[in-house]
Amino acid sequence: MRVVVLCALLAVAALAWLLWRGSAAGTPSETKGAESSAPPSAAVLERGAYLVRVGACMGCHTAQGGVVLAGGGEVRTPFGVFHAPNLTPDAETGLGRWSLADFRRAMRHGVAPGGRLLYPAFPYEQYTALRTDDVDALYHYLRSLPPVAQPAQPHVLAFPYGSQWALALWRGLYFRPAAAVAQEGEAGPLEAGRYLVQAVAHCAACHSPRNGLGALGGGQRLEGGLMPTEGWQAPSLLDSREAGVQRWTPQAVVQLLRTGRTDEGATASGPMADAVFWSTRYLTDGDARAVAAYLQRLPDAAAGTGASGGEAAVPPPAAGGGQRYDSGAQANFRHYCADCHGAQGQGGGPGGAFPPLAGNRAVLRSDPGNMLRSILQGGYAPATAGNPAPHGMPPFMQTLGDAEIAALATYIRQSWGNQAATVATMEVFRARQGRP
């Protein structure tokens, strides 16, 4: 009996400690150096504007057709729908009454004024690594915007995710804030790239595996994973057989980040097109090259497998299978696909606008979900200064049935030297329903 009581007391103590650790009481105040009343310089405001863009703040905090940064964007997750709040300095509905210390605490610790805990749909798991001077620049820039009176809509979350105690427990289990860091001289390219990837642009928020409670875990950061808000698979940045950046030229990485496409035929689509449009197209050439340098120095998971970087991370077709598509698949490819992607899947178009399908890593992934979503929903590169009139692929959701798309995808995955597994009709059905 004593053992049972002792175990119960220990469990209660552990739970209380986790709740305290994840609560506002367990976070620092961030008041050091926040008392200055001196107006921000033009350089600080310029830096803040740059960070707002590269940090993709507008992507969530701007409603479609709404005022920039006045809130209203939706983030749909398996736990419910989050509504991004107003970031303009309106006193009643925005950040007008927030002090610099309040803003620092929200950005680096996920705690709003009054001790309200913020949900990690706001990526403070990555923003916690922001330098103090950059957090301050963001604050001063947002304070310089015209105030817009636009109340935030409440989140719509399933029980118990809408409760602060559940969020405190989640934070106690999974959130580890970084120590405050001040700027110390000019960073070298690799360190600058690491800072941009891991903190400002928060690439790990998509390109990392998450557990059943939405926390980063179960693997290394940047090794790829399911995006629960989209149903897409973010490819691994640590495996040259997936994203493949280790095998690209630095210029190709820079070109994709700043324009959404490369001269070699790679095109950003799906959630990555949004990332380019809202974030990476604003990178300076120097910062884009720093990101490329950092990504290309990451350890390559393919190096220890005996596979070359040009081989996709896929199994061969099942034994005895050969080609596993019906006779209509080739006809559908010729009718719907060949004019742009080439009769032999070689790609083409002006400036290589239409990516090749032969040897395409997205085509050859073991999980065909991204390919199926592109066929169903269409593929649209972002409009950027370097690619102002991008070509797009129409959706075939209303044109082809599940069995036809499965056969077409299998034909593409098993032609022109491609060797990837057969696509099942059920996989298309799940992709059509937005399920992984």
pLDDT digits 0-9 by tens, 118-162: 999 999 999 999 999 999 999 999 999 999 999 999 999 999 999
Q: Are residues 220 and 272 in the same domain?
A: yes
C-alpha to C-alpha distance for 368 and 427, rounded to whole angstroms = 8
Give the residue among 341, 347, 327, 353 at the shortest CA–CA distance from 408.
327
Mean pLDDT of the chain: 87
Q: Are residues 195 and 61 in the same domain?
A: no
Identity (one letter) of the amino acid at 15? L
Q: Are residues 276 and 353 in the same domain?
A: no
pLDDT confidence of 353, banded at 50, 70, 90? confident
Q: Are residues 274 and 367 in the same domain?
A: no
C-alpha to C-alpha distance for 133 and 185, rounded to whole angstroms = 12
Q: Are residues 138 and 87 in the same domain?
A: yes
Q: Are residues 274 and 208 in the same domain?
A: yes
Tokens 């552990």 belong to which residue?
14
Residue 320 has pLDDT above 50, yes or no: no
Q: Are residues 47 and 155 in the same domain?
A: yes
Residues in the annotated binding site: 57, 60-61, 203, 206-207, 337, 340-341
Residues in the annotated binding site for heme c: 57, 60-61, 203, 206-207, 337, 340-341
Which tens digits make up the pLDDT trace of 52-110? 999 999 999 999 999 999 999 999 998 999 999 999 999 999 999 999 999 999 999 99
Structure tokens at 422: 């057969």
pTM for this predicted structure: 0.87
- Which has the higher per-residue pLDDT, 435 or 147? 147
In a domain, 99, yes or no: yes
Is residue 62 classed as helix, strand or coil in its secondary structure?
strand
In this prediction, residue 9 carries a pLDDT of 42
Residue 19 has pLDDT above 80, yes or no: no
Q: Can you give the CATH number for the domain in which 420 is found?
A: 1.10.760.10
In a domain, 316, yes or no: no
Which tens digits make up the pLDDT trace of 408-424? 999 999 999 999 999 99
In a domain, 158, yes or no: yes
In a domain, 125, yes or no: yes
Identity (one letter) of the amino acid at 49? A
Residue 299's domain comprises 189-304
Q: Are residues 19 and 159 in the same domain?
A: yes
Q: In total, how many domains does the chain have?
A: 3
Structure tokens at 66: 């709404």
Q: Are residues 364 and 283 in the same domain?
A: no
In a domain, 84, yes or no: yes
In a domain, 105, yes or no: yes
Is residue 63 classed as helix, strand or coil in its secondary structure?
coil
Q: What share of the chain is helix, strand, coil (3-state, %, to 5)?
A: 45, 5, 50
Residue 346 has pLDDT above 60, yes or no: yes
Q: Are residues 224 and 286 in the same domain?
A: yes
Give the residue among 373, 362, 367, 357 at the shortest CA–CA distance from 428.
373
Q: Are residues 25 and 130 in the same domain?
A: yes
Q: Are residues 237 and 373 in the same domain?
A: no
Percent of the chain at pLDDT exceeding 90: 68
